[in-house]
Amino acid sequence: MRLLSACLLTVATLLGNTGLIAQDPTPDQRKYLLDRVDDVAIVQLYVDGFDQLSLREKTLIYHLSQAAIAGRDIYIDQRYRYSLRIRDVLEGVLTHPQGIDEKTQAAIRKYMKLFWVNNGPHSALTAQKNLLECSVDAFESAVKQAVKNGAKLPASGEQLLTLMLEIEPVLFDPEFETHVTQKSPPDGVDILTASANNLYHNVTTADLDGFQERYPLNSQLIKTDSGNLRENVYRSGLDSLVPAGMYAQPIADIVSHLEAAIPFATPEMARALDALIHYYRTGEAVDFYGYNIAWVADKDSPVDTINGFIEVYMDARGIKGSWEAAVYFNDPIKMDMIRKFADTAQWFEDRMPYAESFRKDNVKGISAKAIQVVMETGDSGPVTPIGINLPNDATIRQRYGSKSVSLSNVMEAYDKASTPSARAEFCYDDAEFARADQWKSTALALEVNMHEVIGHASGQVNEGIDPAVSIKEYYSALEEGRADLVALYFIGNPKLIELGLVENETDLKEMQLAAYEAYTRNAMTQLRRIKSGTTIEEDHMRNRQMIVGWLAANTDAIRVDVRDGKTYFRVADVAAWHRGVGQLLAEVQRIKSEGDRASAERLMKDYAIKINVALRDEVLRRYADLDQPAYTGFVQPELTPVTDDQGNITEVQISYPQDLETQMLKWSGAKAK
């Protein structure tokens, strides 16, 4: 599971792109914010400490990063069946612009920046579709001119005309396939047919009754013309007995880069990579299980990677994994906090507010690290988490443990590219704003680490229960809420002083209040990400709404004030807030442990899904004056190998493109004429 940032980024002035590959400037000279597109900030991700790594570690990171780039088209295709063809057509226009109307070209460039950030037409945050802001005639004219200019498009002649007719509703019709994922569609509409992602084809939830999936994570499920269900598995193939599957060649490319990485890995990491390679070839769930055990066992390697079909947020059922990759190395300077939580995880587990029968007697194998991430693709980038805890399999977590990471350089980039104007707008008074400004970084770091290490890694489920299967489409939001509740429950605990993470009791109380105030405000401010519609579909947003909504309805912790026509969500009683968090955490853990779908559904429907439209519209009006982006896409670092006459890598140089378009065109292989 992963934690997405609730940070909102803004700029005082927009800075133009240079389009150049830049060597790393000194930290105080770094340019973080590169561009702004509607409600998206585009930010350069920097890496500290890469130059101090050994050549062996740099070479390992290079090969793992190449594996990450090799698989990105898998995720783009998973998100939407037309995405790759749309990308190829519009990138062809961008790279062959001669004679194309400048306004049309600007509209296509804007659309593609949103496409690149979100890995397709639909927003990574709201799941809603973005539209191309030009006329159909202008679009068609631009494509025809690009063809004349020599652009190589995914079709030609009559086939290109047919393709354009197919994708035009995607680009221009606001009512056509509006959501990549829709877990709460209108009454009578199935969650699978309402969701535009490419994980299913012609399949409804009713079709799945009695059907046992052999490849639940790594397959596309289709209903054939004869009415039978068929799993199209993602794998490269192993031999005549294990034929190639979907995306066999990209997966073979991933495998090739992983094989190149093995000689530079530690023995423990090499075993995990070997298990991952075997899984990619067979696609079998048992091999993925084996890989996860080997991956969790490797707790000490200074370099690590996440690569595969991992998170299930995009699937309305919460079953099928989205492909992703992340490559990172240890950040020893910022390791202290997260390791303290890992080392004392049993202390926190023993003091959880839920029933003793749901607590772990022996918290196993928690590996926790602060990291510098070097590459994130697929479901991990350009929109990136700030914390990750894996594996997701509850059985592996209970028997073998888990690994947690907090992404130090991602959180730093958020902080460097942000301004306090939104906090000032939604804080009720100067005292609240001063607390927010003083404690935002410390509180966020503590919450991220507790969320991942003692949140996701805590609790146990009853024998024979798989909560993801039992709770279905509500599980991911429930689990993210559970991890948040753990962090919120302990954010004011004196144990943090004992661990040396907070200086004294006065600071602890101030930080706890600031953390509760920020979380309460977020129930309002996150609504500005959903400019239309009446439901929240993204699981992290649902979990935050659930917690604040439940507290407001069931405790005296929160009050709503209106002043000068503006609404403010305020913390009325810190003690009541803390008690309420404990009560809700106890119930959420019970729901997970027992696989109680009915109770999970009630929580979500009562507090998490429906939007107060009038409040949302007010939030949008207030943000309009601030001109703040709602979320961020990151431009990744560039790694360049230096080789000798025999082709051996003698150095790996890191640089920073500082331009999203340059990076995306390079990765997709689009060439200018």
The first and second tokens of residue 205, run together, are: 């939830």
| Local confidence band at 529 (pLDDT 50, 70, 90 cut-offs) | confident
- Report the C-alpha gap between 266 and 254 in whole angstroms: 19
Q: For 17-176, where are the alpha helices, taking DSSP H only?
A: 55-70, 72-79, 83-95, 102-118, 136-148, 157-172
578 has a pLDDT exceeding 50: yes
Q: Is the pLDDT of residue 220 over 50?
A: yes
Model pLDDT, residue 50: 97
DSSP string spanning 84-105?
A: HHHHHHHHHHHH--TT--HHHH
DSSP 104-123: HHHHHHHHHHHHHHHTSSB-
- For the residues 631-652, what does the mean pLDDT come to? 96
What pLDDT sits at residue 564? 93
Q: How far is CA 417 from the centre of its chain?
A: 19
Sheet with strand 322-330: strands edge to edge = 2-4, 385-390, 402-407, 366-378, 322-330, 303-311
| pLDDT at residue number 335 | 87
pLDDT above 70: residue 13: no
- The confidence score (pLDDT) of residue 118 equals 97
The arithmetic mean of pLDDT across residues 582-593, rounded, is: 97
Residue 9: what pLDDT?
Answer: 35
Q: Global pTM?
A: 0.87
pLDDT class of 533 with cuts at 50, 70, 90: confident
Tens-place pLDDT, residues 73-103: 999 999 999 999 999 999 999 999 999 999 9
Residue 420 has pLDDT above 90, yes or no: no
The answer, yes or no, to whether residue 423 has pLDDT greater than 80, is: no
pLDDT digits (tens, 9 = 90+) for 143-193: 999 999 999 999 999 999 999 999 999 999 999 999 999 998 998 999 999
274: left (phi over 0), alpha (psi -120 to 50) or beta: alpha
Instruction: Name the residue with higher pLDDT: 181 or 363.
Output: 181
- In whole angstroms, what is the distance from residue 314 CA to residue 303 CA? 28
Higher pLDDT residue, 486 or 1? Answer: 486
Which of the given ranges, 7-16, 311-320, 620-629, has the highest pLDDT on average?
Answer: 311-320
Average pLDDT, stretch 336-352?
93
CB-count exposure of residue 266 (10 Å: 0-12, 13-18, 19+): middle
Per-residue pLDDT, 333:
85
Confidence of residue 23 (pLDDT cuts 50, 70, 90): low
Task: Output the pLDDT for position 241.
Answer: 87
Please report, rounded to a whole number, the percentage of residues in the chain having pLDDT higher than 70: 95
Sort strands 631-635 and 40-44 into parallel, antiparallel or unpaired.
parallel
Mean pLDDT of the chain: 92
Return the pLDDT at 16: 34
Q: What is the pLDDT of residue 5?
A: 57
669 alpha carbon, distance to own chain's centre? 25
Answer whether residue 210 shows pLDDT above 50: yes
Residue percentage of the chain with pLDDT more than 90: 81
Task: Out of 34-48, 265-279, 330-344, pick the least confident.
Answer: 330-344
**SS3 letters across 346-378:** HHHHHCCCCCHHHCCCCCCCEEEEEEEEEEEEE
- Alpha carbons 277 and 291: distance in angstroms, whole number: 9
3-class secondary structure, 641: strand
What is the pLDDT averaged over residues 567-578? Answer: 97
- The dihedrals phi and psi of 657, each to the nearest 5 degrees, come to -60, -35
